[in-house]
Structure 1
């Protein structure tokens, strides 16, 4: 059923996507060992599979394709690793109409669903998305998502993580021409580009998209916030093929080469 009060406002961050392609099993094991609480595996009607790492606000999604059957082409064709920036919207039709005015190519809303099982019962979560063609943003997918059943996604039991994960704070994107590309990212997010001492960025509530110089367009690094770094550090240093580098008491870098992934982990203390 549709929640009476929308969790999302047009232009805010909804979630960030990590594309595991056909390595979902390995990714789910790795993130569980690192102390993230994963939702049960979902199977989308479009032909993709997922696990979520929820917070009270924006969440982190592992997406991939099943080994057999329908396989979602935009997942197969998109970059491996960090590859999706998803903006919240309350009305996909209104979002599509607004984005058409930006001059960016935009595709009409698409509806899809997936079963969600909790407390011994199964419900159907429903979504509508508004996407840009892949060539529009070669660094990764950017799209808007309307949650028709947010109460099936933001469940309290999925928001507490053994490692203390609590928020997504920043995505760093490289670009050969940040000054030009930041305006396109801002238009796609229904936001305004800004510049500070660190460079160009697009603020989306308490999240920011940083667009920095780089030889190719790429979703480079994601910043995550934790209550403390002690538990995720304890878990990360015990894992093979994982690199944990502590820069300060409140900041560390976590690299998972197996999934082409670099995470900056921060805490307030």
Structure 2
């Protein structure tokens, strides 16, 4: 069961408009707001095979879905693909992974021809005590045509895919053990500096000690906001880094140059570092 990344989730709580405005400023195209049958609202920024999701409520000061209510603003959801959520849940439990039963939900979407339909999903989540201070789950897309629509995949900033996810944790081996039980012993490799790596096709998930993440990110790092272990950074592949840099300059977005990359520091609307990678 090789890991394949499906999407990453920014929790924005009741600050949906603020989070959406920040992503738009960074050059992302957002889908129209969706309303889940679970009681949450979202926007997506869709790439070729994966996407970013803003998740919260569209009501300022409104109640949050119970399973996301305790999470601060930030990058908190790590989501893998599955083609059969129910079968996956059974396999995970048999492997000693504390998976919750598969859950079905939907949200209405407007179709290009003016009609309406539901985007439908089944997900399998891990018990939150099993991993970092975030949500790990698998998503089965029953209607992928309602998510990966061509008109939503052209990003003004040139982003084409997720390339890197960086987690800051106290004990990388604890997280690595969960990944091994979920995906097999060979799925996880060890870095020479104390971090562990979970390759997901073209995406690399890095789990690194706090000190290594602090040394890399410095003042750009997100506020842990009470999270002991958390996702700190997402790296996105772009089609033309020079064009991305020009767009960010015209919008007044500070982006620190790095070798073949641009880094946008964490700030309150998203509370996560975003790297644009050439």
Query: What is the TM-score when the length of structure 2 is the normalising length?
Result: 0.85
Instruction: Give unpaired runs (5+ residues) of structure 2.
Output: 212-227
Alignment-derived partner of residue 225 in structure 1: 237
Runs of 4+ in 1 over 6 A off after TM superposition: none
Higher deviation after alignment, 255-264 or 158-167: 255-264
Tell me whether 1:236 sits opposite 2:231 in the alignment.
no
Q: CA deviation at 1:70?
A: 6.2
Residues 229, 265 of structure 1: 8 Å contact kept: yes
**CA RMSD, Structure 1 to Structure 2 (Å):** 2.0
Indicate conservation of the 8 Å contact 1:92/1:146, yes or no.
yes
Candidates 187, 196, 221, aligned match of 1:192:
187
Give yes or no for contact 2:3–2:199 (8 Å, CA) kept in 1. no
Contact 1:99-1:106 within 8 A present in 2 as well = yes
Matched with 1:127 is: 121
1:113 alignment partner, one of 97, 106, 122: 106
1:222: Cα distance to partner? 0.9
Deviation at 1:112, TM superposition (A): 0.5
Match of 2:220 in 1: none
Matches within 5 A, 1:158-173: 158-173=152-167
Q: Is 1:257 equivalent to 2:250 in the alignment?
A: no
Larger % of strand: which?
1
Cα deviation, residue 164, structure 1: 0.4
Asked if the contact 1:20–1:64 (Cα under 8 Å) also holds between the matched residues in 2, the reply is yes
What runs of 5+ residues in structure 1 fail to find an aligned partner? 1-8
Cα distance between partner residues in 1 of 2:49 and 2:138:
15
2:34 to 37, 42, 46: 42
Query: Structure 2 residue aligned with 1:210, among 191, 195, 206?
Result: 206
Which of these residues, 245, 249, 253, is aligned with residue 256 of structure 2? 245
| Number of residue pairs the alignment of both structures matches | 257
Going from structure 1 to structure 2, the CA distance change for 1:239 and 1:75 (only over 3 Å counts) comes to farther
Give 2:214's aligned residue.
Answer: none
